[in-house]
Structure 1
Amino acid sequence: MMIKDGLKAAEARCTARHAAGSDPAKRGQILAGAKRIFMERGFDAASVNDICRAAGVSKSTLYIYFDGKEDLFETMIEEERDRRFETVTGILTTDAPPAEVLLRYGCAVASIVCSDDVVRAQRIIIGISERMPELGARFFEGGSQRAKTDLTVFLQRQVCEGRLEVSDIPLAAAQFLELSMTSLWRPRLFGQRRVAPSPKEIETVVTSAVTMFMAAYKIATKPGASQAA
């Protein structure tokens, strides 16, 4: 309920702002400046004045488009996430064998989650979630939970089509996402790995994840019957 209320409030704010601040270029200019400041200094150290200077706008102009620093940060996160996941979600709509789709999807998600900008954003969110838990909850709902939900829908379809046998589909979706980032994401998040993993390393990890996942959930082929991989 809290997350739904938060989303409704965000939609209401966006609708109210649109009438006053209707220039997409100016809005994008403000968000670009905000991103530079947030990524360099974090949420707490970033000030509205810093953002205005980076964006080349006045405070009055910024407040036409956004309610303040928290609103700017949330919008920046949401739009960056939507941009990154726009093509990734489409992978799950293809009609290819499930093992092939899972490999492509796992590699795409791991690449996003382990990227420099996303890791920085995750650290910022973790740093402020203790005193702003609703912000952390919305971040989780729109990111990790979104990937799990999309994958759950895909797995449900595979089960209905007789390609997989899964008793707890949401759990299986979460398991696959965790397996796909084994030894990649946490070392990045905590700074043990300073550089994002290469595509080859990601593919190696996700290939192993697919092998384990299919061993657990693929329907065994009966003698004389054909079964999609």
Structure 2
Amino acid sequence: MASQARAPDRGVARRQAFLQAAREVFLEQGYEAASVNDVVRRAGGSLATLYAQFGNKEGLFLAVTQDQHERFIRDITPDSVDHLQLEAGLQAIGEHYVRALLMPENLAFFRIVVGEGRKFPEHLQRYIYTGAERVRAVIARFLEARGAQIDDHEMAASYLLELWRSRHHYRALADDAYRVTDRELSEHVGAAVCFFMRAAKPK
């Protein structure tokens, strides 16, 4: 029984080792230049095992981006804000979201996925939009719970997301050296929340 229990664990560990090594290789070299042989050299194991688990380089890339996307979703999903009032809650959600957007690894993967979008259009759409949908739903529920006087909470949440990401995210994508201090991030989020609050007041 013990040996049977250990076998799946080894398989999971090997898969995670491949994913981590592939993440590093894709980030360093991009999709086209990346070699599965480099992945195997870093992760250990064999090329046959990699192909058995992922099929080919494309399958490995899709698995890596899916894994990275799940990490991103965890990064941008804030802790509970149920105890906060409207303005403070939006500030907390916004800082959490923008900080995750600007993480170097998230920026790097965003660039790679967009760059390879023609090869994997469905994967690109899922990668880009699912994260925003998750945060949009959190904001919409929070606005409704706090009695924000807005006809469409989902639409209002979409506008707020664009206010948050518009200044720093696009600049960071274009300039690898672009950095934002914690104070700048907080002030940017706060300015967007302040602008938003003029139209969204609790009942």
In structure 2, do the counterparts of structure 1 residues 21 and 96 end up closer, same or farther at CA, with 3 Å as the change threshold? same
Structure 1 length as normaliser, TM-score?
0.76
2:111 to 83, 98, 123: 123
Residues in 2 aligned to 1:67 and 1:154: alpha-carbon distance in whole angstroms: 43
Residues in 1 aligned to 2:116 and 2:50: alpha-carbon distance in whole angstroms: 23
**Cα RMSD for the two superposed structures:** 2.3
Q: Cα offset for 1:105?
A: 1.1
Q: Which residue of 1 aligns with 2:173?
A: 189
Residues in 1 aligned to 2:93 and 2:170: alpha-carbon distance in whole angstroms: 19
Residues in 1 aligned to 2:70 and 2:144: alpha-carbon distance in whole angstroms: 23
The secondary structure found in structure 2 opposite 1:146 is helix
Kept in 2, the 8 Å contact 1:52–1:62? The answer is yes
Q: Which residue of 2 aligns with 1:179?
A: 163
Residues in 2 aligned to 1:200 and 1:20: alpha-carbon distance in whole angstroms: 46
* Mapped pair 1:112 → 2:96: no
The secondary structure found in structure 2 opposite 1:166 is coil
Cα deviation digits, residues 1-56 of structure 1 (max 9, x gap):
xxxxxxxxxxxxxxxxxx98862221111111001101001122212222222222
Kept in 2, the 8 Å contact 1:92–1:105? The answer is no
Cα deviation digits, residues 127-166 of structure 1 (max 9, x gap):
11123211211212332232223322333333xxx2x111
The secondary structure found in structure 2 opposite 1:188 is helix
Instruction: Count matched residues.
Output: 197
Residues in 1 aligned to 2:121 and 2:141: alpha-carbon distance in whole angstroms: 28
Correspondences of 1:14-25 after superposition (within 5 Å)? 23-25=11-13
Q: Which residue of 2 aligns with 1:216?
A: 199
Letter in 2 for 1:125: V
The secondary structure found in structure 2 opposite 1:77 is helix
Kept in 2, the 8 Å contact 1:20–1:65? The answer is no
* Mapped pair 1:60 → 2:44: no
User: Which deviates the most, 140-149 or 176-185?
Assistant: 140-149
The secondary structure found in structure 2 opposite 1:195 is coil
What is the percent sequence identity of the aligned residues?
A: 28
Kept in 1, the 8 Å contact 2:72–2:106? The answer is no
Please list every run of 5 or more consecutive structure 2 residues that lacks an aligned counterpart in the other structure: 1-6
In structure 2, do the counterparts of structure 1 residues 43 and 59 end up closer, same or farther at CA, with 3 Å as the change threshold? same
In structure 2, do the counterparts of structure 1 residues 70 and 206 end up closer, same or farther at CA, with 3 Å as the change threshold? same
The secondary structure found in structure 1 opposite 2:110 is helix
Residues in 2 aligned to 1:143 and 1:71: alpha-carbon distance in whole angstroms: 22
Q: Cα offset for 1:84?
A: 4.3
Residues in 2 aligned to 1:114 and 1:39: alpha-carbon distance in whole angstroms: 16
Q: Which residue of 1 aligns with 2:3?
A: none
